[in-house]
Amino acid sequence: MATDTGTRMVNLEYVDTIGFVADQGGRGFHLPMGIAIKDDGRIYVASRSNTQSLNIVGIQVVNLKHEFFGQINSYGKGDGQMIWPTALALDSQENLYLSDDFLQRITIFDGEGNFKTKWGAKGNGDGEFDGPSGIVFDSDDNMLLVDHRNNRVQKFTKDGRFISKFGSQGSGDGQFDLPWGICLDDDGYIYIADWRNDRIQKFTSDGEFVAKFGASGDGDGQLNRPAGVAVDSDGNMYVADWGNQRLQVLAPDGSFLLKLRGQATLSHWAKEYLEAQADELKARESFQPVFDVDTDDQHEVSARIEPYFWDPVTVILDKQDRVYVLETSRHRFQVFQKA
């Protein structure tokens, strides 16, 4: 789909869907929350799951060829384990970092998925956090961490030493109300998905407020509980507009460019499952859905229409300008190519 606004054009072409509900472990995801991509093309997905499906809590490793390489660690409080995994990020050596909202800590794995160390403590003092969510590394290999319930962003060295912080609770410029996602652009500017304020905020690398984008609503360019943000090499912002169940693309000045509700097809894993389940495949092929979608509840609409995004929580871009949208409630991610 392409949108032309004056001199700008954004074109996103659907590529593929990867994922399958795996509530007992094995190939697939369950309520995924975070995603990160290695230079070799391996994709990490952090599944949070629920109390009935604890075997799948961990980090699944896949690639765009639908190959499944296994799971990193498991549910629990021990070294390398996790309970409420929230976000993933890679440092310059491609060590993998995981934020855990329940354990209030950062866990670090090496490039092979082996546990290295952990750090963090709950609180509201410098270096403490309450609900670590989005994480990203800057050009100095320092971590920027969204401190969700403390309504701030903190900067740490890779080994957890506190450097600085910015932000406070509120709706003014530079303030936050339950911020969630974070990213950097090529110039080092920081972008925050300011969840309850229904906006994206932009800051300098030192945390000085630059601009804000979006307003509450469901119109073009408006946001409803944005959960994730990514920025391409042209400065366009890709927003996981969670409450509106869509992806929006905004120009560098915040003007609206594009919106997508999702275009998912059955993943390779889902097709293999159905081919092995003849009765279920037959029932699926003969099923004629009859339901009323005359509702303003976009979450309900997404729950009923399979190709649509259902709770898009994170959006990231790779070095080939592919856009990945992770959907918590459909246990998958959709891939688009910027053309």
Average confidence (pLDDT) per 10 residues, the chain, 339 residues: 56 96 85 97 94 88 97 97 98 98 98 97 98 98 99 98 98 99 98 99 98 98 99 97 98 98 92 78 64 76 90 97 97 96
- Whether this model's pTM surpasses 0.75: yes
Chain-centre distance for alpha carbon 65: 21
Other CB atoms within a 10 A radius of the CB of residue 137 amount to 17
Question: According to the model, what pLDDT value does residue 299 have?
Answer: 87
| H/E element, 279 | helix 278-286
CATH architecture of the region 2-338: 6 Propeller (2.120)
DSSP string, 25-88: SSSSBSSEEEEEE-TTS-EEEEE---TT-GGG-EEEEE-TT--EEEEE--BSSSTT-BSSEEEE
Q: Any idea where the domains of the chain sit in the sequence?
A: 2-338
Q: Are 71 and 59 in contact (CB under 8 A)?
A: yes
In terms of C-beta density within 10 A (0-12 exposed, 13-18 middle, 19 or more buried), how is residue 87 classed?
A: buried
Question: According to the model, what pLDDT value does residue 23 have?
Answer: 73
Query: How many residues are given for the chain?
Result: 339
